[in-house]
Amino acid sequence: MGDLASAIGIRAQEEAAIVAELKAGSEAAYAWLIGEFQQPVYGLVYRIVNDPADAADTTQDVFLKVFRGMKHFQGESSLKTWIYRIALHEAANRKRWWFRHKAKETSIAPAEADSPNGSQGAMQAALTDPAESPFDNVAHREVQRRVEQELRQLNEPYRTTLILRDLEEMSYEEIAEVLEISLGTVKSRLTRGRDMLRQRLTPFVREVGHELGLTAPELDNGEQEARVQVAGGGRRAEVMP
């Protein structure tokens, strides 16, 4: 416990030093900030707005607000939490704007632009293995597309909470800070969100589960466990509570 507290203290000191340099206008500090957060912020925003061009524009807006607002940052939360909070706010604004102005337009974006990093999207990276056969890779891409498709259909605030936890891999404490809610609310939203996602994926699992190597195990009490297992190439990935 003492070592953990020491490590946390060191990280806090390092972040305080970085923030001081950012406030002083250090170009090196801003270059570090972009290198550290640009891709994660883009990935987070993309999963909210679901459009590569809008995600890129929104990510630029996020960093403009970060740069302009840095002098007001008081360290009441971590730098990451503060930036993610701005990103979620800007993504929500962009999505509202899209529904007002672009919802009736027909997208000409290629269908393959299904993830924030193309073939290197976070979900695919978690589900694929370099040693797998071509079929395994195709199967996992199909699972990835379906999971992200169904995830986009979940109502807020469950969708954002699942994204932050299961895709961005943020801790409960970080999610609570970003969304400004209690830990209990975070856990409740995750439980309900995962259950809703499981229910949406159940027909897909039943239809193609055997061919794609998906299993939906049953619990002793007869209720289906909130888990989708993907096995192949000696590796297994799970969406689980």
Residue range 132-164, pLDDT digits in tens: 455 555 556 777 788 888 888 899 899 999 999
Contact indicator for 177, 165 with CB cutoff of 8 Å: no
Contact indicator for 208, 215 with CB cutoff of 8 Å: no
Residue length, the chain?
241
pLDDT mean over 64-86: 90
* Tokens found for residue 180: 């400004």
The domain spans of the chain are: 1-101, 122-241
* Tokens found for residue 151: 């995830």
Q: Indicate if the pLDDT at residue 241 is higher than 70.
A: no
Topology at the third CATH level for domain 122-241? Arc Repressor Mutant, subunit A (1.10.10)
Whether the bond between 40 and the residue before it is cis, its omega within 30 degrees of 0, is no
pLDDT reported for residue 141 = 74
Cα–Cα separations (whole angstroms), residue 150 to 29, 39, 116, 122: 39, 23, 16, 16
Please, which pLDDT band fits residue 227 given cuts at 50, 70 and 90?
A: very low
Cβ neighbours of 195 (radius 10 Å):
15
Q: Indicate if the pLDDT at residue 214 is higher than 80.
A: no
Contacts with 95 (C-beta within 8 Å, 6 or more apart), sequence order: 48, 49
Topology at the third CATH level for domain 1-101? Rna Polymerase Sigma Factor; Chain: A (1.10.1740)
Stronger pLDDT, 8 or 158, i.e. the higher one: 158
Q: Which residue has the tokens 């807006």?
A: 61
Q: Indicate if the pLDDT at residue 66 is higher than 90.
A: yes
In the chain the beta strands, taken as DSSP E runs, fall at 214-215, 228-232, 235-239
Q: Which among 175, 123, 117 has a CA at the least distance from the CA of 149?
A: 123
The Cα–Cα gap between 62 and 39 comes to 12
Cα–Cα separations (whole angstroms), residue 144 to 122, 192, 199: 10, 21, 16
Contacts with 78 (C-beta within 8 Å, 6 or more apart), sequence order: 15, 174, 177
Give 172-197 pLDDT, tens digit per residue: 999 999 999 999 999 999 999 999 98
pLDDT reported for residue 213 = 61
Cβ neighbours of 59 (radius 10 Å):
24
pLDDT reported for residue 59 = 95
The rounded mean pLDDT for the chain is: 74
The Cα–Cα gap between 204 and 143 comes to 9
Cβ neighbours of 171 (radius 10 Å):
12
